[in-house]
Amino acid sequence: MKKQKDSEPPSRLSLLKNFLSRGPKDRPALLEILRNSETRNLLDSDALIMIEGALHVSDMRVNDIMVPKVQMVVVSYDANPAEIIRTVVESGHSRFPVIGEDSNDVMGILLAKDLLSYFANPAGESFNIKDAMRPAVFIPESKRLNILLREFKSSRNHMAIIVDEYGVTGLVTIEDIIEEIVGEIEDEHDIEEEDNIHQHGVNRYTVRAITPIEEFNKRFGTDLSDTEYDTIGGLVINAFGHLPKRGESIDLAGFHIKVLRADRRRIQLLKLTKGEH
């Protein structure tokens, strides 16, 4: 007599199907699987960082990464071309909110590349910023980053102005969101790799967080201890008592230190003003 099918041992194929069908029960379990895969060299570490970043972005809102209003680089509606060009060159940015009578009156967005037509105009017609600027996109602080990224992709906008019931609170760019996924993106306007410390005029500096404390002490004549921390970034985080967000500032060792660039894992770039308290 033939044996019943239910008494037969499961095939290798069915065992494999059962294994693959049992997905992780929650996000922590998924991350544990991914991290174990990276440990066993089944997953590249950069790929793991991006996957973690993509998962993290889905939980974040615009106000977690926005550039605060006080740090926005803007151009005035009545600025002349020379003033606008100076702002473009000094900031290294490619997009600028155009403001009217005050900083809450954002009239549009000016792209640096749109200024090229002014210089290429053989007729010498007067420059009209109204003709050059593009419509601004306004969003609430509560918008989720993954939704905004999708909207950026579909609309081809790269900048949005953030508002609340009182007016403008800041801005966010597509690069800000992407950096949360892949990490810091450096461009030609960032400090060169070999330059940890860069001076901007009198008593103003940008400093990489990875700058060794020994190098910092030598440059500024300070006597910061490197017993517990090797880098200025570690020392700054300790002074804050937490991982600071972009825009946070603190006074330390005779400097007013502001975090210019940071993500959820580390601080990256600092602005130092000597003797300002």
User: Would you say residue 98 lies in a domain?
Assistant: yes
Same domain? 206 vs 175: no
- Residue 71 and residue 154 share a domain: yes
pLDDT tens-digit series, residues 73-104: 999 999 988 899 889 888 888 999 999 989 89
Range of the domain at 201: 197-274
Flag whether 23 is in a domain. no
Q: How far apart are CA 96 and CA 230, in angstroms?
A: 37
Q: Which of 125, 157, 182 is the last residue of a domain?
A: 182
Same domain, 162 and 88: yes
Q: Is residue 26 part of a domain?
A: no
Task: Provide the whole-model pTM.
Answer: 0.62
Both 202 and 161 in one domain: the answer is no
- 221: domain CATH number? 3.30.465.10
Note whether 78 and 116 are same-domain residues: yes
CB 253 within 8 A of CB 222: yes
Number of domains forming the structure of the chain: 2
Sign of CA dihedral 264, 266, 269, 270: positive
Among the candidates 153, 182, 211, a domain finishes at 182
Q: What is the pLDDT of residue 26?
A: 77
Question: Is the pLDDT at 119 greater than 80, yes or no?
Answer: no
Kindly write down the DSSP assignment for every residue of 8-53, as one continuous string. Answer: SPPPHHHHHHHHHH---SSHHHHHHHHHHHHHTTSS-HHHHHHHHH
Nearest C-alpha neighbor of 209 from the set 231, 180, 241, 188: 231
- pLDDT per position as a tens digit, 10-30: 665 665 555 556 666 777 788
Mean pLDDT of 124-148: 88
